[in-house]
Amino acid sequence: MAKAQAPSSVGPRYWTVPVGRALIALVPAIVITFNRDHSAQLGLLAFGAFALASGLLLVLVGPRTLTVATDRSLFLIQGVVSMVAGAIALGFHAGGHGFFLFVVSVWGAVTGFLEIYAGIRVRKRPLPAKDWLFTGIGGALLALLFLLLPPNPVVSVGLFGAYLVFLAVFLPIAGLSLKWDAPRQRSGATASSNSAPNDLDSL
């Protein structure tokens, strides 16, 4: 008997989520890259706007495009955490460099773990497992570097800008790969279901 393909953990419109996250990351990435002022205040404003907007996207759009309840919960929690971190960063944008390191580190560790766990759960499906793993590892690595690197605002804000550039480049590729992969997945599932009766007749 032919082995039926495992059902997808993402809906056909999920590709809009990573593409949307990339567009949100692009704006603060440009601001940081082309701004000579790499102060902690700029970092908090850029992070706050990015985290709040991306969290809102995950809360409003993410759960609607996922087909598994656990994944919906994970991304909903990730969105809420991002919104809270972003609101705190914007509300206390004059908190200084130490506060910037603390907020981004906690956010990166929590959301990174959630996304890594989500990727491990669907590891049998290359898409979207590797995408969630890469972005999750990116957030966790950002948090780790913030803890290990010397406390220099220029370095910290520049590093956060580099993380945003990574998202702006990687996430569109991930999203479009999912979009282009969807028709192949549907045709493969149809072929498996059509071949099942023939396999039974041959027994």
pLDDT of 106 higher than 70: yes
Mean pLDDT of the chain: 85
- In sign, the C-alpha dihedral spanning 3, 7, 12, 13 is negative
Q: Report the pLDDT value the prediction gives residue 122, as an integer from 0 to 100.
A: 83
Please state, in angstroms and rounded to a whole number, the distance separating the CA atoms of residues 192 and 38: 55
Q: Give the pLDDT confidence score for residue 67 in this predicted structure.
A: 85
Q: Does residue 197 fall inside a structural domain? A: no
pLDDT value of position 129? 84
How high is the pLDDT of residue 170? 94
- Report whether pLDDT(202) > 70: no
Residue 28, domain member (yes or no): yes
Length of the chain measured in residues: 203
Span 68-90, pLDDT tens digits: 888 899 999 999 999 999 999 99
Contact 188, 4 (CB under 8 A): no
Within-domain flag for 7:
no
Let me know if 69 is exposed, middle or buried by CB neighbors in 10 A (0-12, 13-18, 19+). Answer: exposed
Number of domains in the chain: 1
Distance CA 95, CA 44 (A): 8
Residue-range definition of the domain harbouring residue 67: 16-178
Tell me the CA end-to-end span of the chain in Å, nearest whole number. Answer: 9
Does 190 fall in a domain? Answer: no
**With helix as H, strand as E and coil as C, how does the chain read?**
CCCCCCCCCECCCCCHHHHHHHHHHHHHHHHHHCCCCCCHHHHHHHHHHHHHHHHHHHHHCHHHHECCHHHHHHHHHHHHHHHHHHHHHHHCCCCCHHHHHHHHHHHHHHHHHHHHHHHHHCCCCHHHHHHHHHHHHHHHHHHHHHHHCCCCHHHHHHHHHHHHHHHHHHHHHHHHHHHHHHHHHHHHHHHHHHHHHHHHHCC
pLDDT, tens digit (0-9, with 9 covering 90-100), for 9-61: 778 888 999 999 999 999 999 999 999 889 999 999 999 999 999 999 999 99
Q: What is the pLDDT of residue 73?
A: 92
Q: Which of 156, 174, 173 is nearest to 46 (CA)?
A: 156
**For the segment 112-167, what is each residue's pLDDT rounded down to a tens digit?**
999 999 999 888 776 788 889 999 999 999 999 999 988 899 999 999 999 999 99
Whether pLDDT at 191 is above 80:
no
Measured distance CA(95)–CA(101) in Å, rounded: 10
In a domain, 8, yes or no: no
Residue with tokens 């082309």: 34
Within-domain flag for 108: yes
Q: In the prediction, which pLDDT does 64 show? A: 87
Average pLDDT over residues 96-109: 96
Is 142 among the domain residues? yes
In a domain, residue 198? The reply is no
pLDDT at site 183: 52
